[in-house]
Amino acid sequence: LRVIQENTCKLGQNVALNGFIGLTFMLLKTKDAPALNNFAVQFLNELVKQRTEFTSDIMKIIVKMLFNESNKAPIIECFSLMVQRKSLPIDRCEEALTDLIENLTELELDTALAIESVIHNTILRSSKLRDLMTTTMRNAMYQNKPEMRKLAVYSFCAMLKKVKKPKSNEVFGMSQNLSMMSFLSQSQIPSTGEVNLRRVSVLVLEIIGLLRK
């Protein structure tokens, strides 16, 4: 397996690649086998790092496994390592991340919170994913289930921790579509000499408005 992995990743050769990837996913979801789980996590992350053309398909499978498999710990670890890479090509995995965000409230609370803790650096690089997460969590805020409201509050607080005062070229700096909640937030935050509201992200204002409400 190590020889095949070296040929597949380092030499750019597709030696038994389909079978090897299928085996790797089987090892990833194997219960009570941390060594096999770890091998699968390392291989998949090495593969998407050196062979970015496989990022989309692999991310789709991992997202599907997050919903369908019971042994979620190694799958969450694999997902976490993938999305935390600054070099992750967002355009190649946007479809999978969109599906994940849209259905995030269908996951168990612990799994959803684990995903929330690592995904925000990635979604803030995409205005589409950022807006989708904001909408999804805003809807979750008003659900009857306390778990969903807890998830929404955690998500918004985690997002606030990631967002800093934006520069003019940052994706979350200014939005072309200002929601009514954004305007409401601006009216609720007192103006001080130390804070220049023109430099504060519209996203921050909207989140604060949601949390205050």
CB 91 within 8 A of CB 127: no
Which residue, 170, 75, 57, is CA-closest to 115?
Answer: 75
| pLDDT higher than 80, residue 181 | no
Between residues 94 and 192, which one has the greater pLDDT?
Answer: 94
Question: Which of the four pLDDT bands, split at 50, 70 and 90, describes residue 102?
Answer: very high
Q: What is the mean pLDDT of the chain?
A: 82
| pLDDT higher than 80, residue 5 | no
Using N-to-C axis directions, what is the helix angle for 2-9 and 17-28, rounded to 10°? 120
What pLDDT shows up at residue 2? 79
Cα 16 from Cα 166, distance rounded (Å): 46
Question: Which of the four pLDDT bands, split at 50, 70 and 90, describes residue 200?
Answer: low
| pLDDT higher than 80, residue 173 | no
| pLDDT higher than 90, residue 15 | no
Cα 170 from Cα 127, distance rounded (Å): 10
Between residues 114 and 2, which one has the greater pLDDT?
Answer: 114
- Number of alpha carbons in the 13 Å side-chain half-sphere of residue 185: 19
Between residues 38 and 16, which one has the greater pLDDT?
Answer: 38
Contacts of 28 (CB under 8 A, 6+ apart): 37, 40, 41, 44, 65, 74, 75, 78
What percent of the chain has pLDDT above 90? Answer: 46
Question: Which of the four pLDDT bands, split at 50, 70 and 90, describes residue 193?
Answer: very low
What pLDDT shows up at residue 177? 41
Using N-to-C axis directions, what is the helix angle for 34-50 and 72-83, rounded to 10°? 20
Between residues 114 and 176, which one has the greater pLDDT?
Answer: 114
What pLDDT shows up at residue 168? 47
Cα 86 from Cα 109, distance rounded (Å): 26
